[in-house]
Structure 1
Amino acid sequence: MDERRLKYLIQEKKYVTLKKELEEMNEVDVAEILEDLDIHTALLIFRMLSKDLAVDVFAHFSVEQQRDIIGLVTDKELKHIVEELFFDDMVDIIEEMPANVVKKILLHAKEEERNLINEFLRYPIDSAGSIMTIEYVDLKKAMTVKEALEHIKKTGLNKETVYTCYVTDKNRKLEGIVSLRKLVISDEEKTIEDIMDRDVIYVHTHDDQETVASIFKRYGFLALPVVDKEDRLTGIITVDDIMDVIDQETTEDFQRMAAMSPTEEKYLDASIFSLAKHRIIWLLVLMISATLTGGIIMKYEKVLETVVVLTAFIPMLMDTGGNSGSQSSTLIIRGIALGEVELKDAGKVIWKEFRIAIIVGLALAVVNFFRIYFFDGVGVLISFTVTFTLFVTVVISKVVGCILPMIAKKLNIDPAIMAGPLITTIVDALSLVVYFSIASWLLNI
């Protein structure tokens, strides 16, 4: 349904037609449509939806829209939403809401749910425990396949997924898993113990969410069990939740690579002061660190006074060096994020980037020599000085560009920090030192 069609139905008060059309749409699309309306119109339409659809739509609203809706709906309406929301969605909402809204939500939650919510909120932020859900199907190994299918029919409606079931003992210790497909095709008289898979891949409640994301990507899971220190099943993480984590982590990496402090605010929703605050700190750091390059130029002032033409090639050398380093660092950071590059591969990575740098450096050096000598009309000795510096700069830049992210990983710092502007600043300083050292040596200055 397009926006004009929606406005027409609202203006003409054709609510029956409007409700019918919205009921046939996906809840994500309905939530997106209501987000663009003023809150009172959105609430009017929200109340027209069936109860089940309204809950699903509410779960896909932005935090701001959820807060506004909670502030306007009746206690009875809020009670239904709270009761029907999946547990992990409720925890996510509570984590984002101000205290007064949280109090209103918890007021309508059952005592057992309130206790569980408080337990979930104690997990470290960005940990597996903070993003898991308790809505999973658990089975006992003594059950027959027939009994298990009956159990799924009775309890599965309120679970986030039924495609994978988890086998636990009387102490909730995870013993195995069994897929719904295997249950359906197995003999009804067989026990769960006969058909379950004992080789279970799981994560612990305090594992970082990036670790969880890498396991999902590696194995292509739809859900992943989460256990505590004693291997008791605590919850599961579903693929839709981990997709949000992957988006969040990727956004943070891009922000760090662009020399900005990470923020979860949407660009259009954030104020100009908030956006400026996240950018200015890193820009100040980079600006102050850039004084290093100025100090290097001043140190070799005598060289520049003797051969003034050397000054003309400084921007080209610094830009090429910075770009070369950024190429390497970006590839290595991406490799680390995907699990393709590990710390034990440092030697292989450095050797590979060194050989790549030799090839790239030689190609750039040859082209640059002829350009400077024939087109710029500069002497052979100065052309060779600039060209040789360019070659050495490219080699150093690429090696440094691959080493720094791995050092950051070793120190448990986000490797994305070692990209873009920061690595360019480091390489710029190295390029100038190499340039003036080679010029001093070859030109006997």
Structure 2
Amino acid sequence: MFDYEDADELTKFAKQIEDLIHRKQYAQLRDLLLPLEAADIALLMMESEEQILPLVFRLLPKELAAEVFVELDSDQQEMLIQGFSNVELKEVLDELYLDDTVDIVEEMPANVVKRILRHSDPDTRKSINEILKYPEDSAGSIMTTEFVDLKASMTVEDAFKRIRRTGPDKETINISYVTDAGRHLLGLVSIRTLLFADDSEIIEDIMETNLVSVTTLDDQETVAMALSKYDFLALPVVDTENRLVGIVTVDDAIDVLQEETTEDIAKMAAMAPSDKPYLKTGVFETWKARTPWLMILMLSATFTGIILTKFEDSLAACAILTSFIPMLSGTGGNSGTQASTAVIRALSLGEVRFGDLPKVLWKEFRVSIICGICLAAANFVKMMLIDRWMMQNPDVTPLVALVVCATLVGTVLCAKLVGCSLPILAEKVGFDPAVMASPFISTIVDSLSLLVYFRFATLILHI
């Protein structure tokens, strides 16, 4: 296993592979690669020159080659498929699990998809088309139909015979699902339970009937969270009539969580999500992902300019107030981001729901008061000692300091209440809570902090 953060180790190994290929030491190269995990071989291929990929791929045993193929990025997969003969393509497809084949089909251009489907066997082709009919990001779109099913009337001995006969082609044999003649899900039995049962025992007597399942239209993130919550290795997927149609395994759940987390991070930074790695995303594509959001935020910041224009006479009467606007805006944005980040995480983990909004607001209200008073006290001391005394700025009077410190308390209060409530409200109306993160919170809080600032300035300084 490689240390993914150790670039030197990866580069050194990749150079060794290239050297062996250059010297045509193919047997030695094969012996070097065989002990490695498929994911590590794929990582090495990404670090090596692109033209050596087909040669390395053909040196690997069929099963390991298929596992490596799944781990490669879509561009490398497409390059290999384009170079495969029809026989090679069929051999790879025969070694892939159905859900991996579906993932590849979804990533490939139309001409490559047609070739893949043309060289898949009829049953696989039918299963692929059925899975592709389900909505994107649903349980049905990430499930596999390759699972072991048993009948309730079977004995343990019969069950083992069926597992041995059908198991090699299945995604997992750790859990077998018990169905009736109409494929309705009745229960499940683990391989552990079967191993410790007598051969003559009936499956119906030892199976678990208290099942957790999902439907084909459930959101994939909900499925992944369920697998995490219950520590399952797989989760059965049923249709509206409780007929077992597939399973979602834990490796697919990990991919979903990684995908969803990447998407949320992008949205929280005001960018359109991208499926490609950072270095493989083109400049033009990156520009398209970022510019619309920047445009929206820039236009929304117009409200800040309107407020400043409205109170320009006040700023002219007490120009020193201008110097504290960046600090107030920054503190407000940071306070709102803290609250929104904590709430977005709680929403994603199911710790907070819309009904908890009053509790969340009450908690953040108390936190904001304490934080605001602490920041205001520290800022008052700083303004008096540094701005007035050390920098000898006579415009920084105690009344000016009072305006700034009172605004700090109000800004932190507004920011935390806005930051904690917007993600919850967004989810309630069907938006992704991650959108209501740092950029939007900061833009809203900037306007609110200026309104609070000039209100206190008007009341205390009479300007």
Task: State the TM bucket, normalised to the shorter chain.
Answer: over 0.9
| Structure 1 contact 350–403 (Cα < 8 Å) conserved | yes
Partner of 1:433: 451
The TM-score with structure 2 as length reference comes to 0.94
Partner of 2:89: 78
The TM-score with structure 1 as length reference comes to 0.98
2:441 to 413, 423, 430: 423
In 1, distance between residues paired with 2:61 and 2:322? 72
Residue by residue over 1:93-143, the C-alpha shift from the partner in whole angstroms, topping out at 9 and shown as x without a partner, is 111111110111111111222122111111101111000001111111101
Partner of 1:32: 43
Partner of 1:334: 345
2:432 to 400, 405, 414: 414
Partner of 1:380: 398
2:318 corresponds to 1:307: yes
Query: How many pairs are equivalent?
Result: 445
Deviation for aligned residue 1:17: 1.5
Deviation for aligned residue 1:39: 4.0
Letter in 2 for 1:383: A
Gaps of 5+ in 1: none
| Structure 2 contact 340–437 (Cα < 8 Å) conserved | yes
Deviation for aligned residue 1:242: 1.1
Evaluate the alpha carbon distance shift between residue 381 and residue 36 of structure 1 in structure 2; reply closer, same or farther with a 3 A threshold: closer
Partner of 1:402: 420
SS of the aligned residue for 2:284 comes to helix
Partner of 1:10: 21
| Structure 2 contact 344–433 (Cα < 8 Å) conserved | yes
In 2, distance between residues paired with 1:269 and 1:281? 21
SS of the aligned residue for 2:280 comes to coil
| Structure 1 contact 28–60 (Cα < 8 Å) conserved | yes
The alignment's C-alpha RMSD in Å is 1.2
Letter in 1 for 2:447: A
Partner of 2:160: 149
Partner of 2:181: 170
| Structure 2 contact 18–48 (Cα < 8 Å) conserved | no
| Structure 1 contact 39–68 (Cα < 8 Å) conserved | no
Deviation for aligned residue 1:44: 1.5
Residue by residue over 1:10-30, the C-alpha shift from the partner in whole angstroms, topping out at 9 and shown as x without a partner, is 122111121122222211112
Letter in 1 for 2:437: A
Q: Spell out structure 1 runs of 4+ moving beyond 4 A.
A: none
Partner of 1:285: 296
In 2, distance between residues paired with 1:35 and 1:106? 27
SS of the aligned residue for 2:401 comes to helix
Residue by residue over 1:181-224, the C-alpha shift from the partner in whole angstroms, topping out at 9 and shown as x without a partner, is 11101122111111111111011111111111111121111111
Residue by residue over 1:47-95, the C-alpha shift from the partner in whole angstroms, topping out at 9 and shown as x without a partner, is 1211222222112121111111111111111111112210111111111
1:203 to 208, 214, 222: 214
Residue by residue over 1:299-343, the C-alpha shift from the partner in whole angstroms, topping out at 9 and shown as x without a partner, is 111211221111111111111111100110011001111112121
Residue by residue over 1:403-427, the C-alpha shift from the partner in whole angstroms, topping out at 9 and shown as x without a partner, is 0110111111010111111100000
Higher mean displacement: 147-156 or 17-26: 17-26
Gaps of 5+ in 2: 1-11, 389-395
